[in-house]
């Protein structure tokens, strides 16, 4: 079954039409976004289908998913908290922040809370080193950045999300 090609044929054709025929592989990130939009992550079937549509190998497609923090190969929480913990942010306390946040949520880095609401991940460079600890939050609605955070302020944010979900 070709889920992407069947469900989004018109949208895919519009995207691919933006590129010269010999460069249609340039549409790969847009097609990954389409695939992820439905399930919150890109399945192996999606990877293979995108590769076929764009005449790429599945390996070429999956390397993009592994490199960019906005794409995911596994299901996650409704809110994905991605804490920047590269060296400059770590020097400003990001590693300790990440560890204590996960401890308070009862999960390990990369895991999702039991209620399925929050996944916490460490990522490289969100371009706000001077405002660390900081993170981006991905939801089906988009992306939001939170800077100069504490574990306490982050837990308050998560409580707000829980109230919104009820």
CA–CA separation, 162 and 14 (whole Å): 38
Map residue 119 onto helix, strand or coil: strand
pTM of the full predicted structure? 0.82
Q: DSSP labels for 17-53?
A: TTS-GGGGGGGHHHHHHHHHHHHSS--HHHHHHHHHH
Cβ distance 60 to 24 under 8 Å?
no
Cβ distance 64 to 71 under 8 Å?
yes
- Digit-coded pLDDT (tens) for 58-103: 999 999 998 888 899 999 999 999 999 999 999 999 999 999 999 9
Give the confidence band of 7 by pLDDT, cuts at 50, 70, 90: confident
Q: Taking the mean position of all CA atoms in its chain, how far away is CA 5?
A: 22
* Domain architecture of the chain: domains with CATH: 3-67 (1.10.10.1590), 79-165 (3.40.30.10)
Give the confidence band of 47 by pLDDT, cuts at 50, 70, 90: very high
What was the pLDDT predicted at 140? 78
């Amino acid at each position: 079954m070709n889920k992407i090609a069947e469900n989004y044929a018109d949208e895919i054709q519009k995207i691919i039409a933006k590129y010269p025929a010999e460069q249609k592989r340039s549409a790969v990130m847009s097609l990954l976004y389409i695939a992820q939009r439905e399930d919150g992550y890109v399945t192996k079937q999606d990877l293979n289908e995108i590769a076929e549509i764009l005449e790429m190998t599945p390996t070429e497609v999956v390397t993009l998913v592994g490199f960019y923090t906005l794409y995911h190969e596994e299901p996650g929480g409704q809110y994905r908290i991605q804490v920047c913990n590269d060296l400059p942010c770590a020097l400003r306390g990001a590693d300790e922040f990440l560890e204590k946040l996960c401890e308070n949520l009862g999960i390990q880095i990369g895991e999702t809370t039991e209620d399925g609401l929050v996944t916490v991940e460490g990522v490289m460079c969100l371009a706000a080193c001077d405002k660390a600890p900081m993170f981006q939050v991905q939801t089906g609605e988009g992306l939001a950045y939170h800077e100069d955070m504490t574990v306490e302020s982050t837990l308050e944010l998560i409580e707000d999300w829980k109230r919104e979900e009820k």
